[in-house]
Structure 1
């Protein structure tokens, strides 16, 4: 669980650094913003990231359960 927290924190810091360094003017972004398409792009990116984070969380729970089962089997032998 600690590794998952560290991974999420590093992911968050990476995004903060990336977004703070995006001070450049981009013509494509202006066009997409004026047409309202930028919100669709942002929504898709957030959905993908939320899916990845959910997948990592569920995977961590499964691994933790497997580790418990292995430890219980070792104790009984």
Structure 2
């Protein structure tokens, strides 16, 4: 889908100027939830879950890339064999 300049300009302006209005103010006393998780030692559970999710995404993407590579190779071979037959 191609957007015209008249559509892109307001979107770009909204993106650039909207960052200042949506930015969060710095926290003076720290984040209560994070402090509590650190005190209880549960922050490592959160870190482990996030790491597991990222590892799962990376494994999925690598497998998907391999499968696409195999399919591309098969399509390329079929094209070369069909052009040889002509």
Query: Shorter-normalised TM-score: what interval?
Result: 0.5 to 0.7
Unaligned runs of 5+ in 2: 1-25
CA RMSD, 1 decimal:
1.1
Tell me, yes or no, if structure 1 residue 68 matches structure 2 residue 49.
no
TM-score of the aligned structures, taking structure 1 as reference length: 0.68
Q: Which has the higher contact order (CA 8 A, sep 6+)?
A: 1
Unaligned runs of 5+ in 1: 1-22
Instruction: Please state how far the C-alpha of 1:75 moved relative to its aligned partner.
Output: 0.2
TM-score of the aligned structures, taking structure 2 as reference length: 0.61
Q: Which runs of 4+ in 1 moved over 3 A?
A: none
Aligned residues: 55
What are the superposed Cα offsets for residues 49-68 of structure 1, whole Å, 9 maximum, x if unpaired?
A: 00001100110000001000
